[in-house]
Chains A and B, each alone.
Chain A
C-alpha cells in the first residue's frame, strides 16, 4: 500500500477493490471525507455501500487500494478493535445492540474508556461519565427505558440506542448505515436533526435510501453504483444527473 500519500482528509479511500468469489463488490472505489464533513452516500441495493463500511472498519480486507484515516493510519493493516480504538465508530444496517443487556449497560459498554482486560475488571464509572451517559439517554429519548433490556426495544428505539452507543464512544468519524430504516416520519426528522448536531464536532458518513432524509441532512451526496462512485455533488445536482437517473430507474 502507498503510505506516502499526503492528505488532510479524515478518511481517504483510493482505488479500493474487493471481490467475493470473483464478484466485484467494490471496484476501484475512491472517496475523500474532510474533517468535520458530513457526507451522504446513496445508491441502489448491492451498490457496495455496506461493503465500503466493512472495508473501512476492518471487517473486510481490501484486495487492493489505499485507506487512510487522519492521513497516517493505514486501515487495511489494522483489525476491528484497533480501528475502533483510533476513533471510528459504526452503526450497522441491521440495528445490532446487546439484546441481553439493559439500555444503560449497552451505553456503558460503549463509553470511551481503556479497553484492556485488566482495566475493565476494575473499571468504575466516574461522575463525569455518568453525566455523559445520562445526557446521551436524554438525547436518544431512552431515559425512561434505561433498565429495560435492549432486546425489548422497538426497532426505532434500537436504532437510537445504537446511535447513542456511537456517541458514548466519542469517535472522530462516524459511519452510519441506514439509520432511519423502520422509523416514522417524525423519528426520521429527529434523527436528521441529531446527526446534524453530532456533525458539529465530528465527521459523519451516512448511508441512506430515504431521499427525504438525505434532503433534510442538506449535505454533499455521493452516488455509488456497482462498487464505484457514479456521481458526487448536491442532492439536486446528482438527481439531475442522467446516469444516476438511469441507474435508479433502470432496475
Chain B
C-alpha cells in the first residue's frame, strides 16, 4: 500500500524506472563497452549527467518547500554549498602527504597561510562517516536556526525570500575570506581519493553516477512520502491559506521548520555528491544567482510535482550546457527569457501542463454543468 502511495501516477513511475535504468546501464555502457561501440557512453558525459542529477536532487528539495509549502527560498544554494564543503573537507584530508607541501595533516592552502595546526572545525573530517554526518547536520542545523527565527516571527513572502538570498550571499562573502579556513576563493580542490578509490578513476566516476541516481530516487521517495501523508496535506494548506490553518490548531511555524530542515539536508546531500564528480568546491557555489537558477528549474519543470522539478533541472542544464558552448555571452539573457516565457505560457511548468492536458481529456463528471458557472467566477 505504501509503495502504491509513493509511486502513484505515471510521472513518478517513469522517473524511478529511468533512474534505475540509468544507474545500471550508464556505468555499464561506460565501463564495459569499448569506445568504438555506438552505445559507449564517454566518461565526460557520465560526469556531466551526474552533475545534472545532483541539481535535480537540489530541485526536488526546493520544490518540497516552495511547491508544497509556498516558501520561496532564494538561498537553497547555501545548503547545497555547505553539503559540498563538508564532502570537500573529507576529500582534502584524504590527500595526506601527497599535497604540494607534503604536510601529513594540513591541506596545502593552510600550509601556504603559515597555519601550524588544523583548526578545530576540520577535526574528524578524515573519517568518511563523520563527513557524511556533517553533510546532513550542517545544512540541517543552519536551516533549523534560520527557520526557527524566521517562521516564529512569521516572516513570509518576499521578505522571507530576500533574507534567504541574504543568507547565501553572506556565506559566499565569508567563504571568500582566507582566514575562514576553507581555502578562500580557490576553494577546495585537487582531490585524490574517496573511500580509497581514486576520484578521477573511470570506475569511481561511474560508481558516483550510480550513487547519485540512487540518492535522487531516495530523495524523491522521501519527498513523496512527506507530501502524500497528512502532514503533506497540512503543508499545502499552509501554502494556500496559512492563517486559516492556524485556526484549525496547527502550529504553522513547526510545520514549515520541519520541511525546511529536511529540504536543506537533501540539498546538502546533492552538494556532497556534486563535489567529487566535478572535483572542486569554491565560494562561487554560494552565489545568489545559483539559488535563483534553481528556482527557475523548478518553475520550468512544474512546481509542486517533484518529478517536474527534477526534469526542469535536467532540461535547463542541458540547455545551459549547449548554450554556454555555442554562445556563452547570451546564457543569462536566455535564462531570463526562458523564465519569462514559462511564466507567461506554461505557468504550471512542463509537467503541470502535461498533467492538465491528460486531465482535461477525461470525461467531465456527471454533475459538472451545474457547477461550471461557479468555476467561471
* Pair A120/B234 contact, Cβ less than 8 Å: yes
Are B243 and A59 in contact (CB-based, < 8 A)?
A: yes
Cα–Cα distance between A152 and B248 once the two chains are bound (Å): 22
Tell me if A186 is interfacial: C-beta within 8 Å of chain B.
no
* A173 on interface, CB distance cutoff 8 Å: no
A14 to chain B, nearest CB (A): 23
Q: Any chain A CB within 8 A of the CB of B255?
A: yes
- Check A123 for interface membership: any CB of B closer than 8 A: yes
Within 8 A of B (CB), among A106-126: 108-110, 115-117, 120-123
B237-255, CB < 8 A from A: 237, 240-241, 243-252, 254-255
Which of chain A's residues have a CB closer than 8 A to the CB of B231? Answer: 117, 120-121, 123
Q: Are A153 and B229 in contact (CB under 8 A)?
A: no
State whether B251 touches A81 (Cβ < 8 A). Answer: yes
B374: chain A residues at CB < 8 Å are 152-155
CB-contacts of A73-108 with B (<8 A): 79-81, 84-85, 89-90, 92, 96, 98-101, 105, 108
The distance in angstroms between the C-alpha atoms of A81 and B248, with both chains bound, is 7
Judge whether B339 is part of the interface by a CB distance below 8 angstroms: no
Instruction: Name the CB-closest residue of B to A121.
Output: B231
Question: Main SS of the interface on chain B?
Answer: helix
The reply to whether B375 and A109 form a contact with Cβ atoms under 8 Å apart is no
Q: How many B residues, CB 8 Å from partner? A: 28
What 1/0 flags go to A117-149 for Cβ under 8 Å of B?
100111100000000000000000000110010
Q: With A59-B243, A117-B254 as given contacts, are A81 and B234 in contact (CB-CB < 8 Å)?
A: no
Instruction: Report B253-265 CB contacts with A as 1/0, cut-off 8 Å.
Output: 0110010000000
By the criterion of a CB under 8 Å from any partner CB, how many residues of chain A are at the interface?
A: 35
* CB contact list, A144-167 vs B, under 8 A: 144-145, 148, 152-155, 165
- Contact call A152/B243, Cβ cutoff below 8 A: no
A169 to B251, CA, bound (A): 15
Shortest distance between the CB of B89 and any CB in chain A (Å)? 32
Judge whether B229 and A169 touch: CB under 8 Å.
Answer: no
A95 CB to nearest chain B CB (Å):
10
Q: Of A79, A108, A153, which is within 8 A of B230 by CB?
A: A108
A191 at the interface (CB under 8 A from B): no
Which residue of A has the minimal Cβ distance to B374? Answer: A154
Closest to A124 in B: B230
Q: Which of B229, B244, B246, B252 contacts A120 (CB 8 A)?
A: B229
A115 with B251, Cβ < 8 A, contacts A84-B246, A122-B229, A154-B371 known: yes
Q: Which chain B residue has the least Cβ–Cβ distance from A125?
A: B230
Please list the residues of chain A having a beta carbon within 8 angstroms of any beta carbon in chain B.
Answer: 57, 59, 79-81, 84-85, 89-90, 92, 96, 98-101, 105, 108-110, 115-117, 120-123, 144-145, 148, 152-155, 165, 169
Binding site for A on B (CB under 8 A): 226, 229-231, 233-234, 236-237, 240-241, 243-252, 254-255, 258, 365, 367, 371, 374-375
* List of 9 A-B pairs having minimum Cβ-Cβ separation, nearest first: A84-B249, A80-B246, A120-B231, A123-B230, A121-B231, A120-B230, A85-B249, A154-B374, A117-B258
In the assembled complex, 17 residue pairs joining A and B whose CB atoms fall closer than 8 Å, in A order, are A59-B247, A81-B246, A81-B250, A84-B246, A84-B247, A89-B247, A92-B244, A98-B244, A99-B240, A109-B230, A109-B234, A109-B237, A120-B230, A123-B229, A152-B374, A154-B371, A154-B374
